Structure 1
Amino acid sequence: MEVGAWTYHYSDQGDYVWEQAQNYCQTFFTDLVAIQNKQEIEYLNKTLPFHGRYYWIGIRKLNGIWTWVGTRKALTKEAENWAAGEPNNRRSNQDCVEIYIKRQRESGKWNDEPCNRKKKALCYQASCQPFPCSQHGECVETIGSYRCECYPGFHGPECEDVVQCAKLEPKGARMNCSHPFGDFSYNSTCNFECPEGFERQGAGTLRCLASQQWAAETPTCTAITCPVLSAPHRGELNCSHLHGGFAFGSMCVFSCQTGFALTGPESRKCTAAGTWTGQTPECKAITCPVLNAPNQGKLNCSHLHEDFTFGSTCAFSCQKGFALTGPESRECTIAGTWTGDSPHCEAIACPVLSAPDQGKLNCSHLHEDFTFGSTCAFSCQTGFALTGPERRECTAAGTWSGDAPHCEAITCPVLSGPDRGELNCSHLHGDFAFGSTCAFSCQMGFALTGPESRKCTAAGTWTGDTPECKAIACPVLSAPDRGELNCSHLHGDFAFGSTCAFSCQMGFALTGPESRKCTAAGTWTGDTPECKAITCPVPSAPHRGELNCSHLHGDFAFGSTCAFSCQTGFALTGPESRKCTAAGTWTGDTPECKAIACPVLNAPNQGGLNCSHLHEDFTFGSTCAFSCQTGFALMGSESLECMATGTWTGGAPLCKAISCPALDPPSRGQLSCSHVHGNFTYNSTCTFSCEEGFVRMGAEVLWCMATGNWNRHPPVCAEDGASFLKQVLAYSSGTALAVAGIVLSGTLIALLAKRLSDREEKKKLLNPTSDLGSPGIFTNAAYDANL
């Protein structure tokens, strides 16, 4: 059935599950039907035939949402047409929808069903063609036709018309527009910029809206303004303005009243950034040099205008402990100078101090020796302590602080002899005081642990720790590396009477005594034993190679590993490394270095090969020189060398036959050549002949020599007759026939030419090399003999 441009179809050949039904509709039509309104349902219910299993339509639950599959749009509440109690009146697997057609009750309503049920497919053929509505609107299917719902900014039956906005004509601003749908129409965008020194008033970008209005008012450009300037204090301001008061381009000049000087620029200009050039100038009174308070003194100034300017007065005073020398006050004059000289402060003096007995004195003077501010520190010699103040200071009154200190010797705690020992002391400055020394000793059979003597130090402490008397001990023994130690002790660990036995791990052998005993002298019997790894024979590097070994337990001993490598141009044959085993032998066989081979070279055709080999034939370092036979030239390198990569330094050269200039047949004659090695090359021969009525002048046969030249000049074909005589005369320099009164006929001349030619060919056959020095040239003597 068909209604206008929108058509409905259904599957009359069979029933399908939902996905098969959709595939059927998409194959032959557009898709399963997408119902848009009640009118469409009424039409379908009236037109379609009844079917007991009803019809599938194009709606399905996707991600829990009922969705029109053709448009991928969710089903709205307003468009729902469910039968009573639907959807999902059973279980959650009812994800597809059927429509009741010609059902006795609720005809035209929807019901959700499992998608694997089989029903008729209800399809539609869309009336909206590709790119409808001028691509400026959405095509909406209707029964019998379609309509265009235009996008904002477009109107017309096919959305073919675009909304127009008023043409923009900004004043003073530069405008740059883009018009996607026509000049000053919907979505036209215009950008505005102002010249340097001007700023935009309004939006920088305007867009034509669907309402036929621009998004904002047209902007304008106004000159950028600078802050208003004012005359400096005690000065004047004079300005000129180009674009308005204190705006871009304005210039202001500054000046000062009499008695004041301008500090800063004399003029300032308003820039495009809205700022003035330079800094704000000021009018300042004439200044005097800045005064400073004297050392250890004070300065108190009063200023009429600014600090240290005309009219300023400064009074001087000294700190406590100092006296002023010079004027008490100075005044800044109109000339910018101060009255009087600079005053200064001198420190008050105290009496000179001396060091205490057995002590030292160290003074620091801020000003002069032993004057106000001087500080003297007191200290005692080593072993003495200070009684009294450590420091005295010269006061502003000219007296020292505190009383005079003195030094007394430092004492240490009283000592007693160690257990099983004795104590013997001597005292320099009093019992157990600084300088006292006490010596310690032990009974027979005991050794002193700690210092043999202790001395009372300047810190009031004894040197060293408290000694003890202990049984004589031997040095603590440790197991040898890769070995074990087993000891028994009588009087204490590693003391007199202790015995220690030594053993080695598997693969190591003991060198030295198997046991040692601690003696009364505190020494062990015997020497210290060692566990040394079993050694292997020392290997050597292969000829033309290198050896690099790493040793775990000693040179070439158990665990040592030796790596083998070869010099450049040589390859290793055998293992790359060998290891020393516990049996004292090396793993693997002895490797060798053999020269790297290059492909065997052969002499080129018509050439020779001469090779010299440093190592083996055609291996690294081999050099081969190439040469060619007479008449052939070498093409390529004269010599090649076998490199460490196993390749030759270049490709094999060739011997190419030397070429002579190409010959052409003589005029009125023919040329026949035979080539042994190529056209007109070494050993090629060419035979010349003349047409009937013409006589050959010159050699009949030419031969290409090893020099690349022909053995003679090519001959010419001369016409039989008197003209030929002239050629003969010219050819033989004309001397032989210059006989007055002789007249020759044409027949005689032809016979003469033939005899000359035959004589030359005979001479060539008898001696082919006789005329190589001057090919093709007849002598006058030969010519006369033939006459």
Structure 2
Amino acid sequence: MRVLNVFGFILFSLNCAQCQECLQKDITFENKEPVLKASYNDGETVKVNCMTGYTGMYKLKCEQGEWKTVVERPCAKKKCSHPGDTANGDFKLKEGSEFVFGATVLYTCKKGFEMTSRINLRTCRAKGWDNTLPVCEAVKCPAIHTDGGVTASGNTDMGSYGDVIHFECVSSDKKIDGSSEIHCKETGEWSDTVPTCKEITCKAPVILNGHVEEKTKEYQKDAILKYGCSEGFKIREGIPRCSKFGWTLKPECDEVTCELKPTTFGVKNITPEGKTVFRAGERVEITCAEKYWIFFTKEITKSFKCQDDGKWDYKPACQDIRCEVPYDQHVFSPRYYFSGDMKFGAKHDYACMSGYDQMAAEATCTRDGWTPKPLCVVKTCAAPDIANAKIVGKQRSKYNINSRIQYKCDPGFNPEQPVHITCNAQTEWTGILQCTENCGPPPNVDFADTTEMSKNEYNSGDKVEYSCFDKYTLDQQHPYSKYLTCEQGQWAGHIRCLKPCSVTVKEMNKRGIQLKWGKQRDMLSPHKDKIKFVCQRGKYLIVNELRQTCIDGVMDLPECV
């Protein structure tokens, strides 16, 4: 029984030891090399390397029967550098998109080149690309040989792909019969045979919508082709001449058309709408927008006709309405005032020349030109309206500045001689004398009479002098004077004779006064005359001053008692 127990213990110990091992088959990384042993004891470490052509490694440790990763750099394919470009060739990867271990590139030559290398592949190996770069060389064409009448220029000995040979005739009177140029093809053959030379001739062409005049089978070198076109078509510009390359100009008949260039500048409406090409005789109508008019006209709408020569009878376009510098409107220095913006709606200050009146503070550009119309008007004087007179000669409604005319007063009016008057720069008549009517005899004036014998008739402006009666005084303080004047058939002026003062002895005795000097007497004292009184003996003054002045017949006497 004891022996059995010992044996069981040994078996158990062996089984437990195996439980702690890690096995090679449990290492399952891809693209790795196998490890050396089939199993590893607990605590052992092992390095796992990658297969040839791969980079990376793993370091593992066995812990209680399981692999624990200590270092992990997964195995990846090695990368190769660029495989290299070959001159005149290309390459592409057969599979994948990276230059890595096992990748293969296939080289091909470009068009016109052929591969001279035996191998056209390169594969990425563990130590890099195998094989050498393939070589592509140009395809060769055989040498060119010509007869004595043809010269060839180019690589005629051994042409390479793409080479061009140019042929010309030795004689200028002949032309190449065949191709004047051939090229070396990618197949190693020339594109055409070597040409020969023949006499220069041209055949009569077939002209659509036209016909050849003086038609012949063949035309010699330098011959001119004469041709005409059907109605509605025109000969293309230039003269066709026979040359070694054929007709120098293709003889064609072009349809006569006029092109309406597409434009919206200033255009309001076009009829017919959308059409841009017009045949001879057809018309188009254009209407311009508000601030525009037909090119070089002052019309808003105009019809244009396509003529037989393919040109419009007038340019079908709109342009900005512009006003011109008003040189002919008597504006002072018009280029100074009218510069800059001259388009529709533009406004400019301006001044008029001497002798002309400005009609507005500023001028405005409109469809009808500058407004107001006119900008400046000549200064004039209206026909003078002089009462009781008539213009000598033919009378006009207006007279220019500096005009000089004369008039004559009607009979019975002064002046009797013709009067000359002038229209000045202020449009006023200067030198006018009114025609005045004559006056009759001068009027009677109280206490006065004329100093001369009066007449029955006086002219305008005549004066009559008056003098007052004895002891009366003439008042010459404004508005009085000693004259009356004949004006417009009426006597004008004011004359007044001031009264003297009457003082009697009876009145003086009644007031108890007497004259200071002289004998007591009755007296007549003129206007503004001063009299000195005194009280009679035994009396004293009770009223007024003793000295008094005569004022127009009134004198306040003093009184003594």
Same fold per TM (> 0.5)?
Answer: no
Larger Rg: 2
Higher relative contact order (CA 8 A, sep 6+): 2
1 or 2, which has the higher strand percentage? 2
